[in-house]
Structure 1
């Protein structure tokens, strides 16, 4: 299929303090950028890659493998379209007209070409960002805030685990591994037809975990726990649905005593919630998990 690129230029924003009550807008601590689609390609049945050209991103500072951006989507029927000043929209328009944000990993970037690739899970008309990616055409514009991100593989052996939402960051992590490093990657997808093209590395074994109708995350938890904890020096990168994160945290921290400093683990989303709802409840969810883990550890 045609490959779409997006051109991105700076868009000024005003820094404001965002409280929990002011969600769904993100805390505007990072600059907003304006991008133009240049190409798209369907890389699997359930995944679409959109390439964006962006001159304003600090490419020299993109040295992590979990970089992410927050895409702006004006609500249906909004009186404005991109480009716009997010802070000004918040100040002048009612809440129902504020743009919705969706968080996506930068799968890759090309500093010379000043482009980034973002992979979108696509389920037809379901959701917000997926349908946008399906319909994206060269010349379309979109705004985003970012990038964020803080992780880079730094150990001799890495265990990656995640679902479709985490696959872009997992693959970026594999591509950044030194040639003498080793890794195991467990990736949960809907079924065998949803497998994705994978990076090649001599020391990496990639294991596909097919849900085949099971609840999101349950098969991945089973696969990772059955594989066990490696005996040597290991780092972990585990991201995806929150319920899976809860179970694998207990497996690692409570049942096996893995130091938290060796693990990057976080819920990207939660069953039955859109991103705004999940972000508003994520801290409470994590606090409940930590309290449960502390109680379980005390009872062992």
Structure 2
């Protein structure tokens, strides 16, 4: 499956929104989860195959140096009527693979993808909702908020560099939103968990979504499970990336990290 770039928009200094369309998205359908994601395949520069390819075939037929980089990204929006798929990419200059691709993408460029899949959706039976993360989790948070029931309390804590990196967030729920800024903070990595330690939580059962940088998410997870007694079944939790690591390096150690994190509490 593949999409062709219809448009790109720099929505914040570090986020590029790419809208994909075209015949290559025929049959695309999102799962029930509001955190639906696709697996992208981005060919290295100069790859000896065309822009439309089957990742499995490339791995079978080409030496490893020509294998496409694989990245997982949240579906920000799927417009089934128009056949348009929106993906938000965090961009940090030339770092990584997907971010630079998005920053340089133009109309007609091709993006190969597989999926989608997903597992989280705000539980309509929960008494209140908690969504916590950084820029990498922001697309899933933004896509999930419209599905919180009307007037239901929903607490959102999002970490970003500074106010220029904030985006409008809308929900029919009763929104308690705080943006946390790394700029000027003495301990940026502790901002998310500290924002929750003093939280006067709404009463009743919470359904939580906790995703983002590995060490920060681990702190939040430990606090919610060990200090607040949140049942593990009531939380969707995943470390998307890890500071100081490339995506490839993180993928190699992620399974062990998650196992250690799960043993915390």
Question: Quick check: TM above 0.5?
Answer: yes
> How many Å separate the matches in 1 of 2:27 and 2:248?
25
Q: CA deviation at 1:162?
A: 0.3
Q: Residues 117-132 of structure 1: matches in 2 within 5 Å?
A: 117-132=86-101
Structure 1: state its 5+ residue gaps: 1-32, 294-300
Q: What's the C-alpha RMSD, in Å, of the aligned pairs?
A: 1.8
User: What is the SS of the residue equivalent to 2:144?
Assistant: helix
Partner of 1:108: 77
1:51 aligns with 2:19: yes
State how far apart, in whole Å, the 2-side matches of 1:270 and 1:240 are: 9
Q: How does 1:84-233 map onto structure 2 within 5 Å? A: 84-154=53-123, 155-201=126-172, 203-212=174-183, 214=185, 217-227=189-199, 229-233=201-205
How far apart are the structure 2 equivalents of 1:235 and 1:200? 16
After TM superposition, the runs of 4+ consecutive aligned structure 1 residues lying more than 6 A away are: none
Aligned to 1:4: none
Give yes or no for contact 2:149–2:173 (8 Å, CA) kept in 1.
no
Q: CA deviation at 1:236?
A: 0.5
Contact 1:108 1:118 in 2 (8 A): yes
Contact 2:157 2:180 in 1 (8 A): yes
Unaligned runs of 5+ in 2: none
- Tell me the CA shift for residue 124 of structure 1: 2.5
Match of 2:234 in 1: 262
**1:216–1:53 CA distance, 2 compared to 1 (3 A):** farther
Q: Distance in 1 between matches of 2:105 and 2:27?
A: 21
CA distance in 2, matches of 1:124, 1:291: 36
- CA deviation map 1:40-75 (0-9, x unaligned): 11212221111111532432x532210001111112
Query: Does residue 272 of the first structure (1) align with residue 244 of the second (2)?
Result: yes
SS at match of 1:65: coil
TM normalised by structure 1 equals: 0.81
The number of aligned residues is 260
In the TM superposition, what is the alpha-carbon distance from 1:115 to its structure 2 partner? Answer: 0.9
Distance of 2:32 and 2:189 partners within structure 1: 29
| C-alpha displacement of 1:78 | 2.2
Query: How far has the Cα of 1:200 moved from its partner?
Result: 4.5
Q: Assess if the C-alpha contact under 8 Å between 2:78 and 2:84 holds in 1.
A: yes
